[in-house]
Amino acid sequence: MDILSVVGLVLAFFALVGGAILRGAGAMALVSVEAFIIVGIGTIAAICVQTPLSVMKHALSIFPWAMKPPALNPENLIKKMVEWSNVARKQGLLGLEPVLNQEPDAFVRKALQLVVDGSEPDAIRGIMEVELGAREHADTLGAKVFEGMGVYSPTLGIIGAVLGLISVMQNLADPSKLGPGIASAFTATIYGVSLANLFFLPVSAKLKVAIAAQAQVREMVIEGMISIAQGENPRAIESKLQGYLH
Amino acid sequence: MDILSVVGLVLAFFALVGGAILRGAGAMALVSVEAFIIVGIGTIAAICVQTPLSVMKHALSIFPWAMKPPALNPENLIKKMVEWSNVARKQGLLGLEPVLNQEPDAFVRKALQLVVDGSEPDAIRGIMEVELGAREHADTLGAKVFEGMGVYSPTLGIIGAVLGLISVMQNLADPSKLGPGIASAFTATIYGVSLANLFFLPVSAKLKVAIAAQAQVREMVIEGMISIAQGENPRAIESKLQGYLH
Amino acid sequence: MDILSVVGLVLAFFALVGGAILRGAGAMALVSVEAFIIVGIGTIAAICVQTPLSVMKHALSIFPWAMKPPALNPENLIKKMVEWSNVARKQGLLGLEPVLNQEPDAFVRKALQLVVDGSEPDAIRGIMEVELGAREHADTLGAKVFEGMGVYSPTLGIIGAVLGLISVMQNLADPSKLGPGIASAFTATIYGVSLANLFFLPVSAKLKVAIAAQAQVREMVIEGMISIAQGENPRAIESKLQGYLH
Amino acid sequence: MDILSVVGLVLAFFALVGGAILRGAGAMALVSVEAFIIVGIGTIAAICVQTPLSVMKHALSIFPWAMKPPALNPENLIKKMVEWSNVARKQGLLGLEPVLNQEPDAFVRKALQLVVDGSEPDAIRGIMEVELGAREHADTLGAKVFEGMGVYSPTLGIIGAVLGLISVMQNLADPSKLGPGIASAFTATIYGVSLANLFFLPVSAKLKVAIAAQAQVREMVIEGMISIAQGENPRAIESKLQGYLH
Amino acid sequence: MDILSVVGLVLAFFALVGGAILRGAGAMALVSVEAFIIVGIGTIAAICVQTPLSVMKHALSIFPWAMKPPALNPENLIKKMVEWSNVARKQGLLGLEPVLNQEPDAFVRKALQLVVDGSEPDAIRGIMEVELGAREHADTLGAKVFEGMGVYSPTLGIIGAVLGLISVMQNLADPSKLGPGIASAFTATIYGVSLANLFFLPVSAKLKVAIAAQAQVREMVIEGMISIAQGENPRAIESKLQGYLH
């Protein structure tokens, strides 16, 4: 669990509700069914029009990374690959076959399979970079679903506010309703801007960092497996791969 | 039919009309002929100045992809290409000639023709990537027509609102007209922002995803056809091409 | 003449003037000498500070492309190059010398000259891509002049409106002048936003599409002339070049 | 210590406080606990949701660069590398071993180690560019933390202002509270916009310049160490490396 | 002197002052010491925090290019390089040594030195492109200083306006001060938006055009000097280099 995500969401709640109370607007000023319908449902509407079903499913499946990014453990991967390079130098590439079934990560396993099959280094790189690129592309489309919601929700907050103001303006004759009417119109703005800036955009940004970190680790795996296929010195491999750890 | 597009448009309608009613503005507050003329016709005007006729026609022809993206079925394509690689290894590249006439997709057919003609792998890649790039460029220009409308419609909403406010300001003397005047001025804003954020921008984004997916499948076709031309192992081809499926 | 440009400008005029009349603001609300001075002259001022004289001249010289893009006719160019490849295969590259003087397009002529001179394919590509890049760069700078005007004019509309509001605020004592004062202040906003969104930005976008189309055709010419220099099969050349037509 | 950073922060304080006093708003108008809670805590909340813990720590560790960029001294590095190339030409690459332990910079030391080990120039470039890229990527993620805060703080200023306006609107009945209420609502806007434009965004921009300068110096180190490994002429190395100094 | 820059600045002054007078706000409405302090000093503060001292100095040193771009004269350079290629073909590369001391431009001289020293074409390209890149990077950082000021000054205009409105709101009791107070608050907006759009952003854009033009001419010099080093035909060199002139 990424501790900062929890801290951030708690602080966001505190800043909004605490701020509303301290300001004298009261916490109830933040509650509005109409604003929820316009901003919440409107944002969902926009993102549904924008997103193919398969991308939407993928976005939901990677959403947990915002709270708990996938465990990458590149140090451990380096240790494993150095071990494998030792095995390969002693027993030949076929000596890695028993390892193949124990490897839990599908990406690493595919690369290892290519090495065991005796593929050319260039072929390994070509095939694995297609794999890396396709996964990164799919994950990035998922992260962009949340970015899209962060772009649409403030504009739906504006629509909600303007609808509220229209309602107020139609009843200007009764000044006693003017203030509360405008106040409630603004709630939609708060919803739209808060959802975007305290949730959707930060979540999308965090997913993108997690995706980039994963891609970098996979670049490292490709580099390492090619070095193994070329029978490079285990210590040289270790030193090279450690360059990715920064 | 992409179910999310339909859901999205229904939700968008519900958020706007439901929101207007719940807010007390009433559904009629969303109806305004003047606002329609300024925002609708103005947006069409801007996009007509911006877009050559051929691009406009292409944009309209790919618009249905927003509701129903082109069926790509890459799994099926991989199966076909693996089959062809078997044929090619047994009967030579000319053995693929009978397949040529049955292939429905023009892009795949052109690549297959080059393979049957015995073209060099580099030539196949060069020619087919020009083809891929030109199609992707044309489709992207089409998607940008909707993006352009999504950029222009909110600014025309602002023009509509300001024209309405000018009219109100010219008649400040009669306060009873102030409220309804401002209310009706805001309708143009609702039109402009809603059209952009609930229709044009999401449609353009969905088209771009569809175009990118198509380009990725075509990259896979190029890779596969070159592998066939080089007489690679059918199982190796299958494993390589499956890397594109993520 | 690009019919959509004319349609677009007529619709833009209709949306603005018709909207102003229907709104009750009246067409005269769109006429203001002060607003014209601030927005029109201010936008010209900003773009003059931004643009070197040579770029400004070039921008004016390519402006007509917004109404009537340069005739490219790539189909015809393909036919010509296929013909030339036939001539080259029968009579040698020198057989193309008589064609040289009849070729109207300077870019094609330069490439043809290189072919006739027997230049290496790599040299032809290098020289012609510099030529293509330099022309595309110069044209793009021209298109950006209109983009710049589209960026500056709305901000000058804001300056005009704020100046008008300052004037109104200085005379708050007389409420009868309040409404018309604000109304007239807003006219500058209408000018700035309309000029940008109904003219400058669409024109710049259309010029960029025309420039990209021209660059694509020139890429095709380079590819074709190199194929001729390499003595490729005329039918193969035709098939390859047709990939650019999408 | 970068003198301009200090000057800038002092001027920023002077512009804000001096401006508030001269305007007649008074310095106290800039003090508001509620605004601080909403803008300050809200911005921290957003950036916590966005940023993994490791990136946050790295961001804090490079923050001092905004006040005092890392000393790069490329002239000195060139002098050292020229010296080393002399040593290498006279005593062979192993003659550089004693220097290895004295080199304080980890990046330079790693490159030097590779040279002493007799690695191939291509391998040195490959390994060191991975190292350079990974460090630059990590530092850039750190700089983007401050950029993110600069993006979120103005929107939280808007949230704070709208919450304040809601509070004012709920109490429209008492006009005497209207002015001070609106005034205090605006304080949140001042906080959000000032924090972003006088602190977060400039700090992030300065960090990015420092990161780019460091990357450029490291490119120079890579180039220099490869030249040493290839036994190039010391004077030629010096002339080449001086090209990086502009 | 670039005539358009002068024309632009004069027109900008005329649009602002003339507009203010015609609008009835009066030229004095544009004069405000407080607004100057907040916008002027605040913008300087932000850019000082953002910019290292060395970049700030470089920015000031290239600022005159906005009024008078560096004389490039590529036609003359081509003529010189064609001449040198003639000399080189007749007397060998060493025949260019006497020219070396007369060449005024440091970039051209460095390239010429490499040619005279008999460096390999690849080495000449590598070294000179580092030189070109480093100079272009430094100049671009300078141009971005003005861009940064154009980004910060409107936001400081908003801060100035909000501070003014706060002051007005604190004294709502006296309505006679309301109008002039708001009017004077808006002056800061005019300052911020005008400085950005009539000065900083256009100046930055013009500097970037000048920097790109210089880089293009230097690319041409590199290409030409390599052609000389390879002993190419003077007429072929001339034809190739003329491709850069568009």
**pLDDT, tens digit (0-9, with 9 covering 90-100), for B165-208:** 999 888 777 777 788 888 888 999 999 999 999 999 999 999 99
| Joined tokens for residue D145 | 């933390």
Beta carbons of B173 and B33 less than 8 angstroms apart? no
- Kindly report, residue by residue over E180-191, the tens digit of the pLDDT: 888 888 999 999
pLDDT band for position C207 (cuts 50, 70, 90): very high
Using alpha carbons, list the distances in angstroms from residue A27 to A12, A23, B145, D207. Answer: 14, 10, 44, 39
Using alpha carbons, list the distances in angstroms from residue C148 to A95, E19, E220. Answer: 64, 22, 28
Q: What backbone torsions phi and psi does residue C190 show, to the nearest 5 degrees?
A: -55, -45
- What would the DSSP string read from start to end of D158-224? HHHHHHHHHHHHHTTT-GGGHHHHHHHHHHHHHHHHHIIIIIIHHHHHHHHHHHHHHHHHHHHHHHH
Give residue B177's pLDDT: 79
Beta carbons of A49 and B4 less than 8 angstroms apart? yes
Contact A37 B15 (CB under 8 A): yes
Residue from A13, A189, A195, A246 to probe the interface with D (highest D Cβ count within 10 Å): A246
Beta carbons of B156 and B43 less than 8 angstroms apart? yes
| Joined tokens for residue E2 | 């670039």
Beta carbons of D22 and D120 less than 8 angstroms apart? no
Give residue C243's pLDDT: 92
A124 vs B240: CA distance, rounded Å: 10
- Kindly report, residue by residue over B217-238, the tens digit of the pLDDT: 999 999 999 999 999 999 999 9
Contact C163 E20 (CB under 8 A): yes
The whole-angstrom distance between C101's CA and the closest CA on chain B is 30
Contact D137 A198 (CB under 8 A): no
Residue from A31, A33, A49, A139 to probe the interface with B (highest B Cβ count within 10 Å): A49
Which chain D residues contact residue E130 at CB under 8 A?
223, 240, 243-244
Subunit partners of chain E (3 or more CB pairs within 8 A): C, D
The whole-angstrom distance between D101's CA and the closest CA on chain E is 30
Contact D206 E37 (CB under 8 A): no
Contact E164 D209 (CB under 8 A): no
Judge whether residue C1 has pLDDT over 80. no
Q: What is the residue whose two structure tokens read 């916590």?
A: D48
Chain A touches chain B, with at least 3 Cβ pairs below 8 Å, answer yes
Beta carbons of E210 and C54 less than 8 angstroms apart? no
- Give the number of beta-carbon pairs within 8 Å between C and E: 175
What number of other Cβ atoms are within 10 A of residue D95's Cβ? 15
Contact D163 A199 (CB under 8 A): no
B86 vs A95: CA distance, rounded Å: 31
Judge whether residue D115 has pLDDT over 80. yes
Nearest to D39, CA basis, from D194, D144, D172: D194
Contact E152 D197 (CB under 8 A): yes
Which chain B residues contact residue A135 at CB under 8 A?
246
Give residue D211's pLDDT: 97
Give residue B122's pLDDT: 93
pLDDT band for position E27 (cuts 50, 70, 90): confident
C143 SS3 class: helix
Subunit partners of chain A (3 or more CB pairs within 8 A): B, D
Tell me the CB-side half-sphere exposure of residue A71, using CA atoms within 13 A.
7
D231 vs D240: CA distance, rounded Å: 14
C124 vs C221: CA distance, rounded Å: 11
B134 vs A31: CA distance, rounded Å: 52
D27 vs D30: CA distance, rounded Å: 6
B6 SS3 class: helix
Tell me the CB-side half-sphere exposure of residue A142, using CA atoms within 13 A.
24
C235-240 contacts at long range (C-beta below 8 A, 24 or more positions apart):
C236/B119, C237/C81, C237/C82, C237/C85, C238/C78, C238/C82, C239/B110, C239/B113, C239/B127, C240/B126, C240/B127, C240/B130
Which chain B residues contact residue A134 at CB under 8 A?
216, 243-246
Residue from E61, E127, E151, E163 to probe the interface with D (highest D Cβ count within 10 Å): E163
Beta carbons of D122 and D153 less than 8 angstroms apart? no
Contact E159 D66 (CB under 8 A): no
Give residue D98's pLDDT: 92
Give residue D152's pLDDT: 98
Contact B186 A173 (CB under 8 A): no
Judge whether residue D161 has pLDDT over 80. yes
Segment D91-114 mean pLDDT: 93
Q: Which residues of chain B have pLDDT under 70?
A: none
What number of other Cβ atoms are within 10 A of residue C235's Cβ? 11
Task: Give the CA dihedral B43, B49, B50, B52, nearest 10 degrees.
Answer: 120
Q: What is the mean pLDDT of each run of 10 residues along chain A (246 residues)?
A: 90 94 86 93 97 96 94 93 95 92 93 94 94 97 98 96 91 79 91 97 97 96 96 92 90
pLDDT band for position D114 (cuts 50, 70, 90): very high
Which residue among E34, E50, E170 places its CB closest to the CB of D179? Answer: E170
Beta carbons of B102 and B242 less than 8 angstroms apart? no
Give residue B71's pLDDT: 85
Nearest to A133, CA basis, from B219, D240, D83: B219
Question: DSSP class of residue E57?
Answer: H
Give residue D175's pLDDT: 75
Contact D49 A66 (CB under 8 A): yes
Please state the ipTM of this predicted complex: 0.91
E201 vs B98: CA distance, rounded Å: 63
Indicate if the alpha-carbon torsion angle A18, A21, A24, A28 is positive or negative. positive
B41, containing H or E segment? none
Q: Where are the alpha helices (DSSP H) in chain B?
A: 3-23, 33-35, 42-50, 53-62, 74-91, 97-102, 106-116, 121-170, 178-194, 201-229, 234-242
Contact C49 E182 (CB under 8 A): no
Give residue C80's pLDDT: 96
C178 vs B153: CA distance, rounded Å: 30
pLDDT band for position C174 (cuts 50, 70, 90): confident
- What would the DSSP string read from start to end of chain A? --HHHHHHHHHHHHHHHHHHHHHTS-GGGG--HHHIIIIIIHHHHHHHHHS-HHHHHHHHHHGGGGTSPPP--HHHHHHHHHHHHHHHHHH-GGGGHHHHHH---HHHHHHHHHHHTT--HHHHHHHHHHHHHHHHHHHHHHHHHHHHHHHHHHHHHHHHHHHHHHHHHHTTT-GGGHHHHHHHHHHHHHHHHHIIIIIIHHHHHHHHHHHHHHHHHHHHHHHHHHHHHTT--HHHHHHHHHTT--
Contact C45 E205 (CB under 8 A): no
Contact E15 C45 (CB under 8 A): yes
Nearest to D15, CA basis, from D194, D235, D212: D194
- What would the DSSP string read from start to end of chain D? --HHHHHHHHHHHHHHHHHHHHHTS-GGGG--HHHIIIIIIHHHHHHHHHS-HHHHHHHHHHGGGGTSPPP--HHHHHHHHHHHHHHHHHH-GGGGHHHHHH---HHHHHHHHHHHTT--HHHHHHHHHHHHHHHHHHHHHHHHHHHHHHHHHHHHHHHHHHHHHHHHHHTTT-GGGHHHHHHHHHHHHHHHHHIIIIIIHHHHHHHHHHHHHHHHHHHHHHHHHHHHHTT--HHHHHHHHHTT--
E47-58: b or e for each residue (b if 16 or more CB lie within 10 Å)?
bbbbbbeebbeb
Indicate if the alpha-carbon torsion angle A50, A53, A56, A62 is positive or negative. negative
Nearest to B139, CA basis, from B223, B30, B239, B215: B215
Please give the model's pTM, rounded to 2 decimal places. Answer: 0.93
| Joined tokens for residue D5 | 């950073």
- What would the DSSP string read from start to end of B62-77? HGGGGTSPPP--HHHH
Which chain A residues contact residue B201 at CB under 8 A?
46, 50, 152
Beta carbons of C33 and E189 less than 8 angstroms apart? no
Which chain D residues contact residue A168 at CB under 8 A?
none
Segment C82-91 mean pLDDT: 95
Which chain A residues contact residue D134 at CB under 8 A?
216, 243-246
Q: What is chain C's mean pLDDT, rounded? A: 93
Subunit partners of chain C (3 or more CB pairs within 8 A): B, E
Chain A touches chain D, with at least 3 Cβ pairs below 8 Å, answer yes
What number of other Cβ atoms are within 10 A of residue D1's Cβ? 7
pLDDT band for position C229 (cuts 50, 70, 90): very high
Give residue C2's pLDDT: 83
Question: DSSP class of residue C69?
Answer: P
- Kindly report, residue by residue over E104-156, the tens digit of the pLDDT: 999 999 999 999 999 999 999 999 999 999 999 999 999 999 999 999 999 99
Which residue among A42, A137, A163 places its CB closest to the CB of B198? Answer: A42
Which residue among B37, B152, B162 places its CB closest to the CB of C18? Answer: B37
- Kindly report, residue by residue over D177-227, the tens digit of the pLDDT: 788 888 888 999 999 999 999 999 999 999 999 999 999 999 999 999 999
Using alpha carbons, list the distances in angstroms from residue A88 to A93, A222, D23, D138, E146. Answer: 5, 16, 76, 33, 58
| Joined tokens for residue C59 | 């921008």
Which chain B residues contact residue C195 at CB under 8 A?
none
